[in-house]
Structure 1
């Protein structure tokens, strides 16, 4: 007997749930991130993308492990939130990341996140692939627990296997696959784009994103991919814009002695679309990133 296509489609649809963004002022205005989504976080380096990422991760880990510390609207939606975070860093080492987290998050947020986060530090291998002058490379801080190549060198080989960006990206992908049941962050696409200046083909970078996109659908989790580039430039890049399931764009403008920041949530295949897109004013305070809906853009009526 042939299965009813409508029933099959409804079954697939019912398996999709939504994870909160974990951002005060944003949750409640949007439904959340559909599970199985890869999300591009794009904006200039001073536009708030880092603070957004750290605050989101910390809030989600609080909701999962200490729900009394977060608003009920988030605490009541913990079922779809993974138990832990895997943070893949390509050029910034683990200590650098912890310093940034500590600068943005309050103490209880920092503790909840770091207690439930694994940092996959590829920074040493990334830097080894660059033609950094030896005196500067030798002075660089290095850790004992960096990510090593997946395969050991063959002692019978006449020459050691040469490390390449292609092998590096293969190992990054392997590490991400090992984290399939966690909330994944890839920090960052900026580093992969820079690697194209040193031998990584641009098509390998795009293929990595396409592969990650389809893998996350199968895993049913959520992956964040960070990109430090002005949002307007990303939106005009035909290779990147629209490649992943959804996006959050961050904008910054100087106003006198302060920076005015805003953000917009891009389309998630229509799942979060509304008649008019909301622009959120964003601020970074003692407890991280906060958003406030300020206006809507788009047609006011049909």
Structure 2
């Protein structure tokens, strides 16, 4: 019996769907995000990554549920957009996430996003693993919806790689509950800092590798946010290039103003041989938007 024939590679490629970034000025200049992709969003905390994330998510939810409120070229691609968002946070509690959304988005954007977004709040769990003074920990507000710790976790365990492993396992299990969603992990920054308290770099990389491969199988999209200067991230060989694609955010002070730019990194190597487009980043009443300004060679990143 002859072995089954291999599928035609071109037919596989043509079957890939792309969802828009949901960012005015970027969509139309860049093809979009292939479904089944994990995307690193990296830049200093003041470089615009938060506003980009919130605007992207809000626009995608509008395109899916209120297409009359987004540009036609975005609305026409709504079939590839997941119906909802799962937002995993270690950085802030749920109230803080909603407050930040409200500060960036207009009312109709905020409503569309929050109606179709679930916040998985692991912030309390994360704090339990750090040597936070008891008086300050006890003063923090609690919420019945905060993700609960594992039942067998020691109450006063010293943080180490194994205790952080339990947290990452629980985060992974929570993500797998909503495999049809856009997934956001807002807290690679906190995991990066947790290396000071026992979490190993290898454990972080393994988590990202697992998420990357799971997203391929699920066919959705995952955003992973990292608040660290883009140049530093690009020099970190264990993070740079690990996920399918990246968006890098830059900020430079010019007099009394901060000039912000962004660049879209490689998705599957396709952009590595091309001149990169630099986008000026602007944040206005309806969130983040981009404006193409110039092209640079790969060596100028």
Deviation at 1:273, TM superposition (A): 5.5
C-alpha displacement of 1:257? 1.1
TM-score (norm 2): 0.93
Corresponding residue of 1:208: 207
Deviation at 1:180, TM superposition (A): 1.0
Equivalent residue, structure 2, for 1:21: 21
Q: Separation in 1 of the partners of 2:178 and 2:224? A: 15
Q: Distance in 2 between matches of 1:188 and 1:83?
A: 23
User: Are the equivalent residues in 2 in contact too, given 1:31–1:272 (CA < 8 A)?
Assistant: no
Distance in 1 separating the partners of 2:217 and 2:273: 27
CA RMSD of aligned residues (A): 1.8
Are 2:65 and 1:101 aligned? no
Deviation at 1:8, TM superposition (A): 3.8
Three-state SS of the structure 2 residue aligned to 1:147 is: coil
Q: Aligned-pair distance for 1:272?
A: 4.8
Displacement after TM superposition at 1:217 (Å): 0.5
8 Å CA contact 1:91, 1:127 repeated in 2: no
User: Displacement, 1:53?
Assistant: 0.1
Residues 1:281 and 2:287 are matched in the alignment: no
Which residue in the other structure is 1:118 paired with? Answer: 118
SS in 1 for 2:78: coil
2:254 — aligned with what? Answer: 255
Please state how far the C-alpha of 1:160 moved relative to its aligned partner.
Answer: 7.1
Q: Does 1:81 align with 2:81?
A: yes
- The CA deviation at 1:161 is 9.9
Q: Is the 8 A contact 1:89 1:122 kept in 2?
A: yes
Partner of 1:140: 140
Q: 2:187 maps to which residue?
A: 188
Q: How many angstroms does 1:2 deviate by? A: 3.4
Q: What is the count of residue pairs matched by the alignment? A: 293
Question: How far apart are 1:136 and its partner, in Å?
Answer: 1.1
Aligned to 1:2: 3
- Extract unaligned runs of 5+ from structure 2: none
- SS class of match (1:79): helix
Q: Could you tell me how far apart the structure 2 residues matched to 1:126 and 1:69 are? A: 38
Deviation at 1:153, TM superposition (A): 4.2
Q: 2: distance between equivalents of 1:208 and 1:73?
A: 35
In structure 2, relative to structure 1, the CA distance for the partners of 1:266 and 1:33 (3 Å cut) is: same
**Distance in 1 separating the partners of 2:273 and 2:74:** 22
State the alpha-carbon separation in 2 of the partners of residues 31 and 294 from structure 1.
Answer: 18
Matches within 5 A, 1:32-43: 32-43=32-43
- Cα separation, 2, equivalents of 1:200 and 1:297: 37
SS of match in other structure, 2:79 = coil
SS of residue paired to 1:270? coil
TM-score (normalised: structure 1) = 0.93
SS of structure 1 residue aligned to 2:80 = coil
3-state SS in 2 of match to 1:24: coil
Structure 1 equivalent of residue 52 of structure 2: 52
* Contact 1:105-1:288 at 8 Å conserved across structures: yes
1:170, 1:275 → 2: CA distance?
A: 38
- Tell me, in whole angstroms, the C-alpha distance in 2 between the residues paired with 1:206 and 1:2: 37
Cα deviation, 1:77-113, whole Å, max 9, x if unaligned, reads 0011000000000131000000000000000000000
- Distance in 1, matches of 2:296 and 2:199, equals 39
The 8 Å contact of residues 153 and 161 in structure 1, kept in 2 or not, is answered as no
1:110 and 1:174 mapped to 2: Cα distance? 27
